[in-house]
Copies of this chain bind each other. A is one copy, B any other.
Amino acid sequence: MAGWRFAEEVALPAALAPGRLLWCGIGGSLLPADALIHALAGASLRHRWQPLASPECNGLRLEPEDQLVFASKSGRTLELWTWIGRLRAQSGWGRWRQAPVVITQDDENPLAQLARAEGWTLLPIPEQVGGRYSAFTAIGALPLRWAGLDSAKFLAGARDVVAQTEQGCGPWGTRVWGMVRAFQGGFLRGTDQWVLLPYATRLETVGAWWVQLVAESLGKQAKDGSRRGLTPIRAVGPQDQHAQLQRWLDGPRNVGVVLVTVGHDHAAEPSDPPSQCPFPGLGRWGGEDILRAQAEGTREALEGAGISVVQWHLDALDEASLGAFLMAWQLVVGLSGMALEVDPFDQPAVESGKRRTLAKLGIS
Protein backbone atom coordinates (compact mmCIF):
# COMPACT_ATOMS: atom_id res chain seq x y z
CA MET A 1 0.00 0.00 0.00
CA ALA A 2 2.84 2.38 -0.84
CA GLY A 3 0.55 4.39 -3.11
CA TRP A 4 -0.66 6.96 -0.58
CA ARG A 5 1.18 9.64 -2.60
CA PHE A 6 -0.21 8.37 -5.92
CA ALA A 7 -1.61 11.04 -8.30
CA GLU A 8 -1.43 9.99 -11.96
CA GLU A 9 -3.53 10.72 -15.02
CA VAL A 10 -6.48 8.36 -15.59
CA ALA A 11 -7.71 7.32 -19.08
CA LEU A 12 -11.37 8.25 -18.72
CA PRO A 13 -14.13 7.14 -21.12
CA ALA A 14 -14.78 9.53 -24.02
CA ALA A 15 -18.42 10.08 -23.12
CA LEU A 16 -20.61 9.88 -20.03
CA ALA A 17 -24.39 9.90 -20.01
CA PRO A 18 -25.73 13.40 -19.29
CA GLY A 19 -28.37 12.44 -16.68
CA ARG A 20 -27.91 11.37 -13.10
CA LEU A 21 -24.65 9.87 -11.85
CA LEU A 22 -25.67 6.73 -9.90
CA TRP A 23 -22.63 5.74 -7.87
CA CYS A 24 -22.71 2.27 -6.26
CA GLY A 25 -19.86 2.17 -3.77
CA ILE A 26 -19.21 2.75 -0.07
CA GLY A 27 -16.45 4.05 2.23
CA GLY A 28 -13.27 4.85 0.37
CA SER A 29 -14.93 4.02 -2.96
CA LEU A 30 -17.56 6.72 -2.42
CA LEU A 31 -16.40 9.47 -0.06
CA PRO A 32 -13.80 11.14 -2.33
CA ALA A 33 -16.39 11.39 -5.11
CA ASP A 34 -19.05 12.70 -2.72
CA ALA A 35 -16.62 15.27 -1.32
CA LEU A 36 -15.63 16.56 -4.76
CA ILE A 37 -19.18 16.81 -6.10
CA HIS A 38 -20.42 18.76 -3.08
CA ALA A 39 -17.37 21.01 -2.89
CA LEU A 40 -17.05 21.88 -6.59
CA ALA A 41 -20.10 21.02 -8.72
CA GLY A 42 -22.97 23.41 -9.40
CA ALA A 43 -26.38 23.02 -7.76
CA SER A 44 -28.08 21.31 -10.69
CA LEU A 45 -25.29 18.74 -10.90
CA ARG A 46 -25.41 18.10 -7.17
CA HIS A 47 -29.09 17.27 -7.56
CA ARG A 48 -28.25 14.70 -10.23
CA TRP A 49 -25.59 13.02 -8.04
CA GLN A 50 -27.01 9.89 -6.39
CA PRO A 51 -24.80 7.71 -4.18
CA LEU A 52 -26.11 4.13 -3.78
CA ALA A 53 -24.11 3.03 -0.76
CA SER A 54 -26.27 1.54 1.97
CA PRO A 55 -28.01 -1.76 1.17
CA GLU A 56 -31.34 -0.13 2.13
CA CYS A 57 -33.82 -0.12 -0.75
CA ASN A 58 -34.65 3.49 -1.65
CA GLY A 59 -37.19 3.10 -4.45
CA LEU A 60 -34.87 4.49 -7.14
CA ARG A 61 -35.97 3.78 -10.73
CA LEU A 62 -33.47 3.55 -13.59
CA GLU A 63 -33.66 6.11 -16.42
CA PRO A 64 -31.96 5.81 -19.84
CA GLU A 65 -29.86 8.96 -19.25
CA ASP A 66 -28.43 7.62 -15.97
CA GLN A 67 -24.67 7.05 -15.83
CA LEU A 68 -24.00 3.99 -13.64
CA VAL A 69 -20.73 3.53 -11.76
CA PHE A 70 -19.80 0.39 -9.80
CA ALA A 71 -16.83 1.21 -7.57
CA SER A 72 -15.02 -1.19 -5.24
CA LYS A 73 -11.28 -1.65 -4.76
CA SER A 74 -11.61 -5.35 -3.93
CA GLY A 75 -14.60 -6.00 -6.20
CA ARG A 76 -16.09 -7.98 -3.29
CA THR A 77 -18.23 -5.41 -1.47
CA LEU A 78 -21.54 -6.82 -0.23
CA GLU A 79 -23.45 -3.52 -0.59
CA LEU A 80 -22.26 -3.11 -4.18
CA TRP A 81 -23.40 -6.57 -5.25
CA THR A 82 -26.74 -5.94 -3.55
CA TRP A 83 -27.19 -2.87 -5.74
CA ILE A 84 -26.07 -4.69 -8.89
CA GLY A 85 -28.66 -7.40 -8.21
CA ARG A 86 -31.38 -4.88 -7.43
CA LEU A 87 -30.73 -2.69 -10.48
CA ARG A 88 -30.49 -5.74 -12.77
CA ALA A 89 -34.01 -6.71 -11.73
CA GLN A 90 -35.41 -3.36 -12.97
CA SER A 91 -37.03 -2.93 -16.38
CA GLY A 92 -34.61 -0.10 -17.28
CA TRP A 93 -31.56 -2.38 -16.95
CA GLY A 94 -29.48 -2.51 -20.16
CA ARG A 95 -31.29 0.48 -21.68
CA TRP A 96 -28.75 3.16 -20.67
CA ARG A 97 -27.50 5.71 -23.16
CA GLN A 98 -23.93 4.96 -22.02
CA ALA A 99 -22.70 1.67 -20.60
CA PRO A 100 -21.79 1.45 -16.89
CA VAL A 101 -18.27 2.20 -15.68
CA VAL A 102 -16.55 -0.19 -13.27
CA ILE A 103 -13.75 1.13 -11.02
CA THR A 104 -11.77 -1.64 -9.32
CA GLN A 105 -8.35 -3.17 -8.90
CA ASP A 106 -7.91 -5.08 -12.16
CA ASP A 107 -6.83 -8.43 -10.71
CA GLU A 108 -9.60 -10.54 -12.22
CA ASN A 109 -11.76 -10.06 -9.13
CA PRO A 110 -15.51 -10.78 -9.64
CA LEU A 111 -16.35 -7.16 -10.46
CA ALA A 112 -13.59 -6.92 -13.06
CA GLN A 113 -14.81 -10.22 -14.52
CA LEU A 114 -18.34 -8.86 -14.74
CA ALA A 115 -17.14 -5.70 -16.51
CA ARG A 116 -15.22 -7.80 -19.08
CA ALA A 117 -18.13 -10.20 -19.63
CA GLU A 118 -20.56 -7.32 -20.20
CA GLY A 119 -18.20 -5.15 -22.24
CA TRP A 120 -18.39 -2.25 -19.78
CA THR A 121 -15.64 0.33 -19.29
CA LEU A 122 -13.14 -0.82 -16.65
CA LEU A 123 -11.03 1.83 -14.91
CA PRO A 124 -8.33 0.29 -12.68
CA ILE A 125 -7.40 1.35 -9.15
CA PRO A 126 -3.64 0.68 -8.89
CA GLU A 127 -2.76 -2.22 -6.62
CA GLN A 128 -0.60 -0.12 -4.31
CA VAL A 129 -3.36 2.41 -3.58
CA GLY A 130 -5.48 1.62 -0.49
CA GLY A 131 -9.24 2.23 -0.64
CA ARG A 132 -9.37 5.38 1.48
CA TYR A 133 -6.32 6.84 -0.33
CA SER A 134 -7.99 6.60 -3.75
CA ALA A 135 -9.08 10.22 -4.38
CA PHE A 136 -6.39 10.54 -7.07
CA THR A 137 -7.50 7.51 -9.06
CA ALA A 138 -10.64 7.19 -11.19
CA ILE A 139 -12.64 7.43 -7.94
CA GLY A 140 -11.93 11.17 -8.00
CA ALA A 141 -11.28 11.75 -11.69
CA LEU A 142 -14.58 10.36 -12.99
CA PRO A 143 -16.92 12.58 -10.94
CA LEU A 144 -14.80 15.61 -11.85
CA ARG A 145 -15.17 14.77 -15.56
CA TRP A 146 -18.92 14.16 -15.19
CA ALA A 147 -19.25 17.60 -13.51
CA GLY A 148 -17.28 19.30 -16.29
CA LEU A 149 -14.33 20.03 -14.00
CA ASP A 150 -10.59 19.81 -14.68
CA SER A 151 -9.00 16.72 -13.16
CA ALA A 152 -5.56 17.73 -14.48
CA LYS A 153 -5.62 20.74 -12.14
CA PHE A 154 -6.79 18.49 -9.29
CA LEU A 155 -3.83 16.15 -9.85
CA ALA A 156 -1.40 19.05 -10.28
CA GLY A 157 -2.50 20.50 -6.93
CA ALA A 158 -1.84 17.14 -5.29
CA ARG A 159 1.57 16.63 -6.91
CA ASP A 160 2.68 20.04 -5.76
CA VAL A 161 1.91 19.09 -2.16
CA VAL A 162 3.79 15.79 -2.48
CA ALA A 163 6.86 17.58 -3.83
CA GLN A 164 6.81 20.25 -1.13
CA THR A 165 6.32 17.69 1.61
CA GLU A 166 9.18 15.50 0.37
CA GLN A 167 11.43 18.56 0.26
CA GLY A 168 10.14 19.84 3.60
CA CYS A 169 9.61 23.33 2.24
CA GLY A 170 6.99 25.63 0.71
CA PRO A 171 3.63 26.49 2.27
CA TRP A 172 2.18 23.00 1.91
CA GLY A 173 5.32 21.23 3.06
CA THR A 174 5.26 23.41 6.17
CA ARG A 175 1.57 22.72 6.76
CA VAL A 176 1.86 18.96 6.37
CA TRP A 177 4.83 18.53 8.69
CA GLY A 178 3.33 21.00 11.19
CA MET A 179 0.11 19.01 11.29
CA VAL A 180 2.00 15.72 11.78
CA ARG A 181 3.78 17.30 14.75
CA ALA A 182 0.45 18.64 16.09
CA PHE A 183 -1.13 15.17 15.85
CA GLN A 184 1.83 13.41 17.42
CA GLY A 185 2.49 16.00 20.13
CA GLY A 186 -1.22 16.23 20.87
CA PHE A 187 -1.50 12.47 21.26
CA LEU A 188 1.39 12.42 23.73
CA ARG A 189 -0.24 15.26 25.74
CA GLY A 190 -3.71 13.67 25.71
CA THR A 191 -5.22 15.75 22.91
CA ASP A 192 -6.77 12.77 21.18
CA GLN A 193 -9.81 14.41 19.57
CA TRP A 194 -9.40 16.60 16.48
CA VAL A 195 -12.10 18.68 14.86
CA LEU A 196 -12.07 19.62 11.16
CA LEU A 197 -13.90 22.96 11.18
CA PRO A 198 -14.29 24.40 7.69
CA TYR A 199 -15.94 27.81 7.45
CA ALA A 200 -17.41 26.78 4.10
CA THR A 201 -20.58 24.71 3.96
CA ARG A 202 -19.47 23.19 0.65
CA LEU A 203 -16.62 21.46 2.51
CA GLU A 204 -19.04 19.61 4.82
CA THR A 205 -18.79 16.31 2.92
CA VAL A 206 -15.01 16.64 2.74
CA GLY A 207 -15.36 16.17 6.49
CA ALA A 208 -16.92 12.74 5.99
CA TRP A 209 -13.99 11.73 3.76
CA TRP A 210 -11.54 13.05 6.37
CA VAL A 211 -13.25 11.17 9.21
CA GLN A 212 -12.74 7.85 7.47
CA LEU A 213 -9.15 8.69 6.56
CA VAL A 214 -8.17 9.61 10.12
CA ALA A 215 -10.31 7.07 12.01
CA GLU A 216 -9.53 4.01 9.91
CA SER A 217 -5.85 4.81 9.36
CA LEU A 218 -4.80 5.77 12.88
CA GLY A 219 -7.15 3.91 15.25
CA LYS A 220 -4.97 0.86 15.81
CA GLN A 221 -3.22 -1.41 18.20
CA ALA A 222 0.51 -0.91 18.02
CA LYS A 223 2.92 -3.88 18.03
CA ASP A 224 3.20 -3.66 21.82
CA GLY A 225 -0.60 -4.04 22.11
CA SER A 226 -1.18 -0.45 23.21
CA ARG A 227 -4.21 1.27 21.67
CA ARG A 228 -3.49 4.39 19.67
CA GLY A 229 -5.27 6.79 17.41
CA LEU A 230 -7.08 10.07 17.24
CA THR A 231 -10.83 10.62 17.12
CA PRO A 232 -11.83 12.76 14.12
CA ILE A 233 -14.86 15.00 14.64
CA ARG A 234 -16.89 16.37 11.75
CA ALA A 235 -18.10 19.93 11.96
CA VAL A 236 -18.88 22.90 9.75
CA GLY A 237 -18.13 26.37 11.09
CA PRO A 238 -21.36 28.34 10.66
CA GLN A 239 -23.47 25.51 12.12
CA ASP A 240 -21.21 24.06 14.79
CA GLN A 241 -20.23 27.32 16.42
CA HIS A 242 -23.87 27.13 17.53
CA ALA A 243 -23.78 23.37 18.18
CA GLN A 244 -20.42 21.97 19.33
CA LEU A 245 -18.33 25.02 20.32
CA GLN A 246 -19.55 24.94 23.94
CA ARG A 247 -18.09 21.44 24.37
CA TRP A 248 -14.73 22.37 22.85
CA LEU A 249 -14.34 25.56 24.90
CA ASP A 250 -15.58 24.45 28.31
CA GLY A 251 -15.49 20.63 28.30
CA PRO A 252 -12.51 18.35 28.90
CA ARG A 253 -9.24 19.69 27.50
CA ASN A 254 -8.50 16.92 25.00
CA VAL A 255 -9.60 18.59 21.76
CA GLY A 256 -7.64 20.28 18.98
CA VAL A 257 -9.22 22.21 16.12
CA VAL A 258 -8.19 22.48 12.46
CA LEU A 259 -9.92 25.63 11.25
CA VAL A 260 -10.22 25.94 7.46
CA THR A 261 -11.07 29.23 5.80
CA VAL A 262 -11.59 29.89 2.10
CA GLY A 263 -10.90 33.12 0.19
CA HIS A 264 -13.64 34.92 -1.65
CA ASP A 265 -14.04 37.72 -4.12
CA HIS A 266 -15.60 40.29 -1.79
CA ALA A 267 -18.40 40.79 -4.33
CA ALA A 268 -21.03 43.09 -2.85
CA GLU A 269 -24.42 41.43 -2.54
CA PRO A 270 -27.65 43.32 -2.02
CA SER A 271 -28.95 43.37 1.54
CA ASP A 272 -31.79 45.37 3.02
CA PRO A 273 -32.40 44.69 6.72
CA PRO A 274 -35.72 46.04 8.00
CA SER A 275 -35.83 48.76 10.66
CA GLN A 276 -36.39 46.16 13.40
CA CYS A 277 -32.97 44.57 12.72
CA PRO A 278 -31.05 44.56 16.01
CA PHE A 279 -27.64 44.79 14.30
CA PRO A 280 -26.95 48.37 13.17
CA GLY A 281 -24.97 48.48 9.93
CA LEU A 282 -25.56 44.80 9.04
CA GLY A 283 -26.46 45.82 5.48
CA ARG A 284 -22.82 46.88 4.90
CA TRP A 285 -21.61 43.29 5.12
CA GLY A 286 -21.89 40.45 2.64
CA GLY A 287 -22.37 36.86 3.79
CA GLU A 288 -18.70 36.06 3.18
CA ASP A 289 -17.60 38.98 5.39
CA ILE A 290 -19.80 37.66 8.18
CA LEU A 291 -18.41 34.17 7.72
CA ARG A 292 -14.85 35.49 7.97
CA ALA A 293 -15.71 37.43 11.13
CA GLN A 294 -17.23 34.27 12.61
CA ALA A 295 -14.09 32.27 11.80
CA GLU A 296 -11.83 34.92 13.33
CA GLY A 297 -14.05 35.28 16.40
CA THR A 298 -14.14 31.53 16.95
CA ARG A 299 -10.39 31.22 16.51
CA GLU A 300 -9.81 33.93 19.12
CA ALA A 301 -12.25 32.28 21.52
CA LEU A 302 -10.57 28.87 21.11
CA GLU A 303 -7.03 30.22 21.47
CA GLY A 304 -8.10 32.36 24.41
CA ALA A 305 -9.29 29.17 26.11
CA GLY A 306 -5.90 27.52 25.54
CA ILE A 307 -7.05 25.12 22.83
CA SER A 308 -4.67 24.08 20.01
CA VAL A 309 -5.83 25.66 16.75
CA VAL A 310 -4.26 24.98 13.36
CA GLN A 311 -5.55 27.23 10.58
CA TRP A 312 -5.34 26.38 6.89
CA HIS A 313 -6.50 29.02 4.44
CA LEU A 314 -7.42 28.11 0.86
CA ASP A 315 -7.41 31.02 -1.61
CA ALA A 316 -10.32 29.52 -3.54
CA LEU A 317 -12.54 26.47 -3.70
CA ASP A 318 -11.42 24.92 -6.98
CA GLU A 319 -9.88 21.76 -8.45
CA ALA A 320 -6.28 22.71 -7.57
CA SER A 321 -7.04 23.67 -3.97
CA LEU A 322 -9.09 20.53 -3.35
CA GLY A 323 -6.35 18.39 -4.87
CA ALA A 324 -3.85 20.04 -2.55
CA PHE A 325 -6.11 19.75 0.49
CA LEU A 326 -6.95 16.07 0.03
CA MET A 327 -3.35 15.08 -0.73
CA ALA A 328 -2.08 17.10 2.22
CA TRP A 329 -4.34 15.09 4.52
CA GLN A 330 -3.32 11.77 2.93
CA LEU A 331 0.29 12.71 3.70
CA VAL A 332 -0.48 13.93 7.23
CA VAL A 333 -2.27 10.70 8.03
CA GLY A 334 0.30 8.40 6.43
CA LEU A 335 3.17 10.16 8.18
CA SER A 336 1.30 10.35 11.49
CA GLY A 337 0.71 6.60 11.35
CA MET A 338 4.44 6.09 11.10
CA ALA A 339 5.03 8.58 13.94
CA LEU A 340 2.48 6.76 16.14
CA GLU A 341 3.99 3.41 15.12
CA VAL A 342 0.80 1.96 13.66
CA ASP A 343 0.18 0.78 10.09
CA PRO A 344 -1.86 3.61 8.51
CA PHE A 345 -2.82 1.46 5.51
CA ASP A 346 -4.60 -1.57 7.01
CA GLN A 347 -7.99 -1.95 8.75
CA PRO A 348 -7.93 -5.35 10.50
CA ALA A 349 -10.88 -4.71 12.84
CA VAL A 350 -13.28 -3.73 10.05
CA GLU A 351 -12.74 -7.06 8.35
CA SER A 352 -13.98 -8.92 11.44
CA GLY A 353 -17.27 -6.98 11.36
CA LYS A 354 -17.71 -7.86 7.68
CA ARG A 355 -17.14 -11.55 8.34
CA ARG A 356 -19.77 -11.56 11.11
CA THR A 357 -22.30 -9.93 8.77
CA LEU A 358 -21.76 -12.62 6.13
CA ALA A 359 -22.08 -15.33 8.76
CA LYS A 360 -25.45 -13.91 9.87
CA LEU A 361 -26.65 -14.13 6.28
CA GLY A 362 -25.34 -17.66 5.84
CA ILE A 363 -22.87 -16.41 3.22
CA SER A 364 -19.23 -17.10 3.91
**Chain A count of residues within 8 A CB distance of the other chain:** 113
Point out the residues of chain B lying under 8 angstroms from A288, CB to CB. 56-57
A281 interface residue (CB < 8 Å to B): yes
Min C-beta distance of A224 to chain B, whole Å: 13
Q: Known interface pairs A84-B277, A231-B231, A352-B301. Does A286 touch B211 (Cβ–Cβ under 8 Å)?
A: no
Considering the complex, give the chain B residue whose CB is closest to the CB of A353.
Answer: B301
A103 interface residue (CB < 8 Å to B): no
Point out the residues of chain B lying under 8 angstroms from A242, CB to CB. 26-28, 212, 350
- Contact segment of A10-18, A111-119, A151-159, A164-172: A111-119
Cβ-defined partner of A246 (8 Å) among B219, B251, B297: B219
Cβ-defined partner of A243 (8 Å) among B216, B248, B282: B216
Residues 303-337 of chain A, each 1 if its beta carbon lies under 8 Å from chain B, else 0: 00100000000000000000000000000000000
Which residues 97-137 of A sit at the B interface, judged by CB distance below 8 A? 110-111, 113-114, 117
Considering the complex, give the chain B residue whose CB is closest to the CB of A358.
Answer: B279
Point out the residues of chain B lying under 8 angstroms from A273, CB to CB. 81, 84-85, 88
Cβ-defined contact, B246 with A220, below 8 A? yes
Considering the complex, give the chain B residue whose CB is closest to the CB of A28.
Answer: B242
Point out the residues of chain B lying under 8 angstroms from A254, CB to CB. 192
Q: Report the separation of the CA atoms of residues A155 and B288 in the bound assembly, to the nearest whole angstrom.
A: 39
Q: Known interface pairs A85-B283, A291-B56. Does A211 touch B243 (Cβ–Cβ under 8 Å)?
A: yes
Cβ-defined contact, B31 with A243, below 8 A? yes
Cβ-defined contact, A274 with B349, below 8 A? no
Cβ-defined contact, A271 with B86, below 8 A? yes
Q: Report the separation of the CA atoms of residues A75 and B43 in the bound assembly, to the nearest whole angstrom.
A: 30
Min C-beta distance of A211 to chain B, whole Å: 6
- Contact segment of A1-9, A47-55, A138-146, A175-183: A47-55
Point out the residues of chain B lying under 8 angstroms from A56, CB to CB. 200-201, 238, 287-288, 291
Cβ-defined contact, A81 with B282, below 8 A? yes
Residues 333-364 of chain A, each 1 if its beta carbon lies under 8 Å from chain B, else 0: 00000000000000111101111111111110
Cβ-defined partner of A193 (8 Å) among B193, B296, B354: B193
A65 interface residue (CB < 8 Å to B): no
Cβ-defined contact, B278 with A26, below 8 A? no
A289 interface residue (CB < 8 Å to B): yes
A45 interface residue (CB < 8 Å to B): no
Cβ-defined contact, B350 with A287, below 8 A? no
Cβ-defined contact, B86 with A251, below 8 A? no
Cβ-defined contact, B55 with A238, below 8 A? yes
Cβ-defined contact, B215 with A244, below 8 A? yes
Q: Known interface pairs A86-B270, A282-B363. Does A276 touch B353 (Cβ–Cβ under 8 Å)?
A: no
Cβ-defined contact, A228 with B251, below 8 A? yes
Cβ-defined contact, A277 with B81, below 8 A? yes
Q: Known interface pairs A227-B250, A300-B356. Does A111 touch B244 (Cβ–Cβ under 8 Å)?
A: no
Q: Report the separation of the CA atoms of residues A101 and B258 in the bound assembly, to the nearest whole angstrom.
A: 37
| Chain A residues packing against B (C-beta within 8 Å) | 26-28, 31, 43, 47, 53-57, 59, 75-76, 78-79, 81-82, 84-86, 88-90, 110-111, 113-114, 117, 192-193, 200-201, 208, 211-212, 215-216, 218-221, 227-229, 231-234, 236, 238-239, 241-255, 269-274, 276-283, 285-294, 296-298, 300-301, 305, 347-350, 352-363
Nearest 10 CB-CB pairings of A with B: A219-B247, A219-B251, A27-B242, A297-B356, A229-B251, A54-B238, A89-B270, A212-B243, A249-B349, A293-B360
